[in-house]
Amino acid sequence: MKNEIKTSLGGKTIALLAQSIINGLITGSIYALVASGYSLIYSTNNFMHFAHGISVVAAGYMVYWLFSLVGIPFYVTCIITVILSAIFGLAMYRLIYLPLQKKGASNVILLIASIGILTFFQNVIQIAFGSGVKLVGYIEVSKGITFAGVTMTLLQIVILIISLIIFILLYQFMQKTKTGRNMRAVSNNSELASIVGINHIRISDISFLIGSALAGVAGILVALEQNLSPFMGTNLMIKGFTGAVIGGINYVPGSIVGSFLLGMAENLGILVLPSGYKDAIAFSMLFLFLLFKPNGILGKKEGRFDK
């Protein structure tokens, strides 16, 4: 009976497939929101900002604090959260990374510093809010909308739409504005960029501001869609990083595509494989890409002279 359902090509299996694709898209959009900010910062600064994960978590807790505890209207909370996230990111760069860079710290030192920041703030959040799971509770949990056999909640549809809008805006910004072009120039060849007079620190400031604002948006959506616990940042960061590597860590659109691919691969993979292999699928992909295509699907080779 069980096997019949699995092997037949009846309506049931197609619905299962369609639902899994949607599940993959939802998962992917959250990974992509984390990965886009992360890869934006990576591409212009060339070091692993693992504390990006804590920007996401801090934003989530900010929503919980301002909206659920203080009682500030939700939309105002969102605006404050995004602004504070951007400032938080900039502060991390200005107060920790930049002074280290000025002392001649290598990228490995900066990576260690970023893990230090991540751990530190995870513990600060645990002390401030406790180790328990927190729910924002803006949207009541209810059954999603079913359309053509596929069930999705309104929030998930909103998340997909918001991510798409953000990614389009981000792309336009990177392609069309002067700052965006300068950022791409720095990411392409930072030495050459500084020779032609692009101020690297200013570009880094902007990348941390925008990247962390994106983390703020991700944090708000994660807080609504999942729930909050102080140590969720590590997990989000690992998946965001994996998505970014698959798509091309030094190229923002690449990391977005990679994240969606990762979400799809995980969710479609466990339709065939036992569900215990979900993380194994993600990390197998990470290793294969690191070994055979370290620049990812759409990533560019560093220092390549483009156009």
Near another protein by CB under 8 A, which window of 12-20, 158-166, 247-255, 299-307? 12-20
Binding flag, residue 123, another protein (CB under 8 A): yes
Q: CB neighbours of 58 closer than 8 A, spacing ≥ 6? A: 85, 88, 121, 125, 219
Q: What single letter denotes the amino acid at residue 279?
A: D
Map 2-57 to HEC letters: HHHHHHCCCHHHHHHHHHHHHHHHHHHHHHHHHHHHHHHHHHHHCCCCCCHHHHHH
Q: Which of 76, 83, 106, 137 forms a contact with another protein (CB under 8 A)? A: 137
In the complex, the smallest distance separating the C-beta of residue 276 from another protein, rounded to whole angstroms, is 4
In the complex, the smallest distance separating the C-beta of residue 109 from another protein, rounded to whole angstroms, is 14
Binding flag, residue 229, another protein (CB under 8 A): yes
Q: Are the C-beta atoms of residues 204 and 45 closer than 8 Å to each other?
A: yes
Binding flag, residue 10, another protein (CB under 8 A): no
Binding flag, residue 124, another protein (CB under 8 A): yes
Q: Which of 8, 106, 131, 284 forms a contact with another protein (CB under 8 A)? A: 131
Near another protein by CB under 8 A, which window of 9-17, 32-40, 192-200, 292-300? 9-17
Binding flag, residue 160, another protein (CB under 8 A): no
Q: Are the C-beta atoms of residues 252 and 35 closer than 8 Å to each other?
A: no
Q: CB neighbours of 157 closer than 8 A, spacing ≥ 6? A: 145
CA-wise closest residue to 201 among 128, 101, 106: 101
Q: Which of 99, 147, 302, 303 forms a contact with another protein (CB under 8 A)? A: 99
Q: Which residue number, 153 or 179, has a Cβ lying nearer to another protein?
A: 153
Q: Which residue number, 30 or 213, has a Cβ lying nearer to another protein?
A: 30
Q: Which of 106, 107, 146, 175 forms a contact with another protein (CB under 8 A)? A: 146
In the complex, the smallest distance separating the C-beta of residue 305 from another protein, rounded to whole angstroms, is 36
Binding flag, residue 120, another protein (CB under 8 A): yes
- Residues 267-286 touching another protein, rule: CB under 8 A, are 267, 270-271, 274-276, 278-279
Binding flag, residue 138, another protein (CB under 8 A): no
Q: Which residue number, 194 or 227, has a Cβ lying nearer to another protein?
A: 227
Number of residues interacting with another protein: please give it, by CB under 8 A: 52
Q: Which residue number, 5 or 69, has a Cβ lying nearer to another protein?
A: 5
The residues facing 150 across adjacent strands are 147
Q: Are the C-beta atoms of residues 35 and 259 closer than 8 Å to each other?
A: yes
Near another protein by CB under 8 A, which window of 140-148, 203-211, 253-261, 284-292? 140-148
Enumerate binding residues for another protein (CB under 8 A). 2, 5, 12, 15-16, 19-20, 23-24, 26-27, 95-96, 99, 102-103, 120, 122-124, 126-127, 131-135, 137, 140-144, 146, 151, 153, 226-227, 229-232, 235, 266-267, 270-271, 274-276, 278-279
